[in-house]
Amino acid sequence: MSEKRAQTTILVPGKLPSRALERIEEQFHLVRIDRADTALLTDEMKQSVEGIAAATVIDAAFIDALPKLRIIANFGVGYDSVDAAHAGSRGVMVTNTPDVLTEEVADTALGLLINTVRELPKAEAWLRAGRWRSDGAYPLTRATLRGRSVGIFGLGRIGRAIARRVEAFGLPVSYHNRRPVEGVDYEYHPTLLSLASAVDTLISVAPGGAATHKAVNAEVLAALGPNGVFVNVGRGSTVDEPALIEALRAGTILAAGLDVFADEPNVPEALIACENACLLPHVGSASLHTRQAMADLVVDNLVAWFTRGRALTPVAETAHLVAGR
């Protein structure tokens, strides 16, 4: 490690995996604060911080409070928590962690789909409670994967990995994106409503942000129909949660499997009370293997930026930037 890099200050607001913290401390001068709050920034931090490694909200005010900031390394493929457009306008690189979590999240999506349709967590709870012995076999599930058609909202890296798995189950796949994806044969729908009307199983992998805010609304859920199953491993902000709760209660759709929520970790009690909802605490990429790979990519982006002047995985809003602006 060069002496110059050892003097480069990297700020970590809030929590970050220990592997990332250890590697940052080995490579740079690490500074930590409890959260990304400008009130917690000392004058020394404001004059020395050149990089941020974070898994939390980094807004424009926080970016502006650090005049020497050069890079924000986001832990996660989704980066809607970072004001990347503002960072780009200030010449600050923003990176994320794509690819290394693609297969893990796709695995989770299919596991969540199967759990939702076949009620496997409930069946296990039935056994553990002794009800197999006392009450007999677990009731037959109303739903099955057989004969289903699957629509994917967001056919990016993870969406395509999910599609490959869905194909292996012998189910047809179609999708909705802002525009068609080159090189795929899946049926494209120009609107989410059109996609929901054409399928009975909707898997959302869409990113957060203004363009997708509450995109899965009452109209989309109604189009999915009474045999419909909705699975979300993208962002909770893409769903109108009150509308989803009402659709589950009223039987507008059959069931939902959710790994993400609008206000994590605060899951609405009304949603928890829905017997036809399978709920997970945002564990899509939560294996040691994948989280370590994500942590490594966060640090590798910092090292690449400060040694070679280019990031490994820049986000779209800052892909044009090079060090030494």
Q: How far apart are CA 245 and CA 268, in angstroms?
A: 9
Q: Are both 174 and 39 inside the same structural domain?
A: no
Q: Are both 307 and 255 inside the same structural domain?
A: no
> Which of 6, 24, 3, 46 is CA-nearest to residue 298?
24
pLDDT at position 323 is 79
Q: Are both 16 and 60 inside the same structural domain?
A: yes
Q: How far apart are CA 9 and CA 31, in angstroms?
A: 7
HSE-CB for 283 with a 13 A CA cutoff: 11
What CATH number has the domain bearing residue 53? 3.40.50.720
> Does the residue 325 lie in any domain?
no
Strand order in the sheet with 9-13: 29-33, 9-13, 49-54, 71-74, 93-95
> Which of 312, 282, 308, 316 is CA-nearest to residue 300?
312
HSE-CB for 233 with a 13 A CA cutoff: 27
Within 33-142, where are the H helices? 43-48, 60-64, 84-89, 102-118, 120-128, 131-135
The amino acid at 161? A
Structure token digits, residue 79: 């980066």
Is the overall model pTM greater than 0.85, yes or no? yes
Q: Is the separation of the CB atoms in 91 and 72 below 8 Å?
A: no
Q: Are both 195 and 132 inside the same structural domain?
A: yes
List CB contacts of 151: < 8 A, sequence separation 6 or more.
173, 174, 175, 176, 189, 195, 196, 198, 199, 201, 202, 203
Q: Are both 261 and 176 inside the same structural domain?
A: yes
DSSP-derived secondary structure letter, 297 = H
> Does the residue 323 lie in any domain?
no
DSSP 157-216: HHHHHHHHHHHHTT--EEEE-SSPPTT--SEE-SSHHHHHHH-SEEEE----SGGGTT-B
Note down pLDDT in tens along the chain; length 325 residues. Answer: 555 567 899 999 999 999 999 999 999 999 999 999 999 999 999 999 999 999 999 999 999 999 999 999 999 999 999 999 999 999 999 999 999 999 999 999 999 999 999 999 999 999 999 999 999 999 999 999 999 999 999 999 999 999 999 999 999 999 999 999 999 999 999 999 999 999 999 999 999 999 999 999 999 999 999 999 999 999 999 999 999 999 999 999 999 999 999 999 999 999 999 999 999 999 999 999 999 999 999 999 999 999 999 999 999 999 999 875 4
Q: Are both 145 and 14 inside the same structural domain?
A: no
> Which of 202, 57, 36 is CA-nearest to residue 116?
202
- Other C-beta atoms lying within 10 Å of the C-beta of residue 131: 14
Phi, psi of 176 (to 5 degrees): -130, 130
Q: Are both 106 and 233 inside the same structural domain?
A: yes
Enumerate the active-site residues. 235, 264, 282
pLDDT at position 325 is 45
Structure token digits, residue 263: 């206000």
Q: How far apart are CA 24 and CA 249, in angstroms?
A: 48
Per the structure, the complete domain to which residue 215 belongs is given by 102-279
Phi-psi region of 146 (alpha: psi -120 to 50; beta: other; left: phi over 0): beta
pLDDT at position 4 is 55
DSSP 95-122: E---STTHHHHHHHHHHHHHHHHH-HHH
Phi-psi region of 119 (alpha: psi -120 to 50; beta: other; left: phi over 0): left
The number of domains in the chain is 2
Q: Are both 86 and 201 inside the same structural domain?
A: no
Q: Is the dihedral of CA 62, 68, 71, 75 positive or negative?
A: negative
List CB contacts of 147: < 8 A, sequence separation 6 or more.
none
Q: Are both 110 and 235 inside the same structural domain?
A: yes
Q: Are both 94 and 107 inside the same structural domain?
A: no
